[in-house]
Amino acid sequence: MTRVLLAMAAIVLIGCDGKFDRQGWVQHDTQSIDLDKSEMARVEIKLGAGELQVDGGSAKLMDADFDYNHTSWKPIVRYEASSFRSHLRIEQPSGVHGGSGATYKWNLRFNDKLPMDVDLDLGAGEARMNLGSMNLRSVQVNVGVGEVTLDLRGKPTRDYTVNVNGGVGHAKIYLPGDTGVIANAAGGIGDLNVRGLEKRGGQWINPAHENGPVTIHLDVKGGIGQIEIVAE
């Protein structure tokens, strides 16, 4: 119980304000979670409908800004921590479906140093994830009927895995050209476009994977939508 209370106390509500626009009263919440003694973190992001922006660069575990124009749409943030691994979950309340006149935007910034597993479930909406500066262990992205841009360009210091499951929407994945890449990519009914990687057998690779100290292992399964992979 003490551990749970300490973890809850780590979530700091900095402020809440709002403004009125033609769609109604837009509330703005700012939340942050301090770093603790956890050696790594798992982050789950579940957004059914809305706009998502994810970046690194936070001095804390997370800094977040949320905008929404219905009180019941306030995102649910749960955090549990142990000495070894912490678990952060940010999710949209059940029954939130957006639609005409809706404002629902999340802006999340995470720590660059703490080893992290990132898991995104996107229903309908748009997500822009700039994760290249972060200390990634794994990335899992499930695309529903939305649009996802996953930018992994950076200077990783460890191998990590990326799994992308395409849905009806459009997913664009940027990879660093000077880091080793081994990609397995299979298009579904939609299109699969790959640039900057060479196909050998059933895999897409780049020259850096042969001698480089770090390799990104990418597995992409296309759905009905379009998948683009760009290494540069």
Give the residue extent of every domain in the chain.
2-231
Beta bridge partners of 28: 17, 67
Tokens (6 digits) for 198: 């060479």
Give residue 139's Cα distance to chain centre.
8
* Across 16-20, 59-63, 77-81, 165-169, least confident range: 16-20
Task: Say what the pLDDT of residue 24 is.
Answer: 60
Task: Say what the pLDDT of residue 95 is.
Answer: 65
Report the pLDDT averaged over residues 97-101. Answer: 58
* CB-CB contact of 146 with 204 (8 Å): no
* CB-CB contact of 216 with 175 (8 Å): yes
Cα–Cα distances (Å) from 215 to 55, 103, 150, 180, 211, in that order, read 21, 39, 17, 4, 10
Give residue 212's Cα distance to chain centre.
26
From CA 160, how far away is CA 214, in angstroms rounded? 8
The pTM score is 0.86
Q: What is the pLDDT of residues 154-173, one digit of tens each?
A: 999 999 999 998 778 788 99
